[in-house]
A = this chain, B = another copy of it.
Amino acid sequence: LTRQAFAEFLGTELRFSGELFQKIQDFFSRRSLKMRARSKTQAYLPTGAKALPNDLGTAPGIMAEIKDKLLIAMPGVPSEMKQMFEISVMPRLQQCAAQQAFVVRKLNCFGAGESEIAQSLGTLMQRGRNPLINCTAKQGQITLHIFAQAANKSRAQQIADNDEKLLQEKLGQLVFSTEDKTLAEVVGEKLAQHNKTIALAESCTGGTLAKLLTDIPGASRYFTHGWITYSNSAKTSQLGVPAALIEKHGAVSSEVATAMAQGARKRAKSDLSVAITGIAGPAGGSEQKPVGLVYICVNSHGRAQTKRFVFSHDRDYIRLRAALTALNMLRLKL
């Protein structure tokens, strides 16, 4: 459909390309697969358009210039699209901006809200300023983008450097990466660097924290043991949290979070441990212990730091936010 619409917009027809067809056939034969009949469609190209090569799949991209505009279609498979964008599209876009150099920087922050960060940056975020500083928020992570524009690359880099330094000064410990790393990546690197091991004990997050930490290749260097003690009896039998402690303070309490972290560290014989217990909702909340109440304990070599949080929004958000906050506590500890 895209192909047809592209041709219609150009006011031309689709034309069979023997060269493209050969490439598609080669793709299948290299993989010892039979070519499907419908794949032949992908060998048709609007007259006046150019095919963009696709090394990862069979659908070529399509590019044409019309009325001083570039019209580009790429395959929908993300990996194919991304590679095509970098190899074929980006260089063409750079030609369009040959007289200007752009430099983009990203500062990933955690621990303050979007409006709090915007407030602290004041006029730095004014529209029309160069560099332009934008702010995006996703799941508690705030990313500041610095877009610097100048007549040449070195000048653009210089003014981007200057703003990056300014932001670092204003935001301090809130900035956890200038290389677009995730919190889990930064924590994993620090653990590996310092040669520390970690164990995790999760209740309400049900594996979210362990998943984030093991999303990173090589996590086995520092992560060995995780427990999801979803029931009280699991907390007692697997982590040694005294039943009387749960009875007295409730499973969602500072005391139980601290005991879970201690039990996990002891059993895993790890340097550090993190425990999370809370009420993810939607049910299970009370006036004293509302939905969103979460206790997080980071235990480092026997020294425990336990904090109380009340997260809002829905179950998914509370769980993710709790796991990310635990990673942030770990980052600051490390």
Contact = CB atoms under 8 A, between A and B. Distances in A.
A40 interface: no
Given A207-B207, A237-B267, A225 B214 contact: no
A2 to B, nearest CB: 14
A79 B205 CA distance: 22
B210 A219 contact: no
In order of increasing CB-CB distance, the 3 nearest A-B pairs are A206-B214, A226-B228, A207-B207
Interface string A177-212: 000000000000000000000001010011111110
Contacts of A224: 230-231, 233-234
User: For this complex, into which size category does the number of interface residues on chain A fall?
Assistant: 35 or more
Contacts of A107: none
A98 B233 CA distance: 58
A268 B234 contact: yes
Contact of A206 (B210, B281, B316): B210
A217 interface: yes
B225 A210 contact: no
A227 B227 contact: yes
Interface in A219-254: 219-220, 223-231, 233-234, 237-238
B219 A206 contact: yes
A47 B233 CA distance: 63
A289 interface: no
A8 interface: no
Nearest to A313: B79
Contact of A228 (B228, B233, B234, B282): B228
A228 B206 CA distance: 11
A65 interface: no
A189 B237 CA distance: 27
Contact of A207 (B214, B233, B267, B282): B214
